[in-house]
Amino acid sequence: MLSKTDTDKCVACSTCVVQCPVAEVTTKFLGPRMLGPASERFRLLNDGEDSSLTYCANCKNCDISCPQGVGVSNINMLARAAYAKKHRPSFRDWILAHGELESRLAGIFPAALANFGMANPISKCILDKIGISKKADLPRFASKQLAAAFKAYKQPEQLSKKVVFFPGCFIKAYAPQTGMDFVWLLNKAGYRVELPDAFCCCGTPLYTNGFADDARKNAEKNLAEMRKWKEQGIKVLALCPSCELMFKEELPVFFPDLAHDGASYLENGEEFVLGCISRGELVIDAPGNAMKDKKIIYHAPCHLRALGSGMPGLDMLGSIPGLKVSSASAGCCGISGSYGFKKEKYDISMAIGSKLFQSIKNSNADLAATECGTCKVQIMHGTAMPCEHPVSILKHYLEKEQQ
């Protein structure tokens, strides 16, 4: 048995129960300790499944809080995948899991039409019928998705160094500007960026919604492409903490045969930018009037906290002269990917996020910042405050300073 999912490491201290954002707001969820390590022993007897397994949001606060290093959330996700093998997940879950496929279909139509197709009251009613909350703000497809925007963009020619960008499906379909801002920064630091067509969704929404086979296919494709670049000694960078966590922590547990060789070829894009700054490739010693006295409140996504790598986004914002940055430190936003879009989870999701919303509203900031795409959707939904990825904020600053 993998040490990360070893149930015997659990001493039943109940720390995870106290820290679980879902258990905090609803008693419908059995809680991480009981559903994870405690139930796992019964699963070995193949003795049925607890009905509240779908209430785990896979936000990973149980793992973050556990003093013994038990991978509670992964125990839950493995159990969910095993359950889904015998009981087909719903059409609603298929829709939410396969967002990337839908974005490709949507790409055929003009974005306005595709978005109208999703956001008009009639569609919302239909979505609500299949179990997607009509109160939720589903993210909008961008008018030009990342692949098209990247193709249309001309990178400077004299760049000798090279990096590869793994954008993840959110940036690809809904926030291509974040991806392009990152490309701009990397170019400015002297790197040419590759955006391979072969990269597809990291598999997080697929696996957590019960489509393990589809997640496996994606993993095979992505890892093969990453291996190719790794062999050439070229770094692959990601901006989405959930994608990064999938490759670094979850794939080796979900598909140990695929990722046995140390899993990850993926690196944190923000850490790379910080490295560029400290190596002097990217210079921020301008007088700093572009963001003078602007106030930004930063939210650390749970999956970033779970990585245990620190807060490169917060460090990056802190490096911008004149900018006033504070950290919300208010826990989970509640969305957990597609969790908060589900009809029966919407209220739970909003109740979880209420602490963060309050903290952001109280901050009187001009702008919120976070790395995770769906955290961003949730923050804007819960606070009506604009929210940006830290790389975009750094790009705006440098661009303005240039003018």
What is the rounded distance in angstroms from the CA atom of residue 136 to the CA atom of residue 381? 8
Using rule CB under 8 A, residue 271 touches another protein: yes
Q: How many CB atoms lie within 10 A of CB 159?
A: 15
What is the rounded distance in angstroms from the CA atom of residue 271 to the CA atom of residue 309? 9
Using rule CB under 8 A, residue 30 touches another protein: yes
Using rule CB under 8 A, residue 80 touches another protein: no
Stretch that binds another protein, among 47-55, 121-129, 130-138, 139-147 (CB under 8 A): 47-55
Stretch that binds another protein, among 200-208, 220-228, 263-271, 380-388 (CB under 8 A): 263-271
Site string for another protein, 182-201 (x = CB under 8 A): --------------------
Stretch that binds another protein, among 17-25, 108-116, 176-184, 226-234 (CB under 8 A): 17-25
Token reading at 56: 């785990």
Using rule CB under 8 A, residue 364 touches another protein: no
Q: Which residues of 332-368 are buried (b: 16+ CB within 10 A; e: fewer)?
A: bbbbbbbbbbbbebbebbbebbebbbebbeebebebb
- Single residue of 102, 281, 315, 399 touching another protein by CB under 8 A: 315
Token reading at 326: 């504070």
Using rule CB under 8 A, residue 274 touches another protein: yes
- Single residue of 5, 10, 29, 334 touching another protein by CB under 8 A: 29
Using rule CB under 8 A, residue 314 touches another protein: yes
Question: Which of 51, 56, 127 is CA-nearest to residue 96?
Answer: 127
What is the rounded distance in angstroms from the CA atom of residue 304 to the CA atom of residue 244? 9
Using rule CB under 8 A, residue 264 touches another protein: yes
Looking at residue 192, its amino acid is R
Using rule CB under 8 A, residue 362 touches another protein: no
Using rule CB under 8 A, residue 333 touches another protein: no
Using rule CB under 8 A, residue 64 touches another protein: yes
**What distance lies between CA 87 and its chain's CA centroid?**
27
Question: Which of 334, 369, 289 is CA-nearest to residue 57?
Answer: 334
Site string for another protein, 225-244 (x = CB under 8 A): -------------------x
Using rule CB under 8 A, residue 55 touches another protein: no
Using rule CB under 8 A, residue 354 touches another protein: no
As a whole number of Å, the end-to-end CA separation of the chain is 58
Token reading at 191: 């790197």
Distances (CA, A) of 255 to 225, 240, 246, 276, 350: 17, 21, 11, 34, 33
Nearer to another protein, 59 or 142 (CB): 59
The distance of closest approach from Cβ of residue 63 to another protein in the complex, given in angstroms and rounded to an integer, is 7
Using rule CB under 8 A, residue 306 touches another protein: yes
| Cβ pair 203, 131 in contact under 8 A | no
The distance of closest approach from Cβ of residue 4 to another protein in the complex, given in angstroms and rounded to an integer, is 9
Residues making contact with another protein (CB under 8 A): 11, 13-15, 17-19, 24, 27-31, 34, 50-52, 63-69, 244-245, 248-249, 264, 268, 271, 274-275, 305-311, 314-315, 327, 329
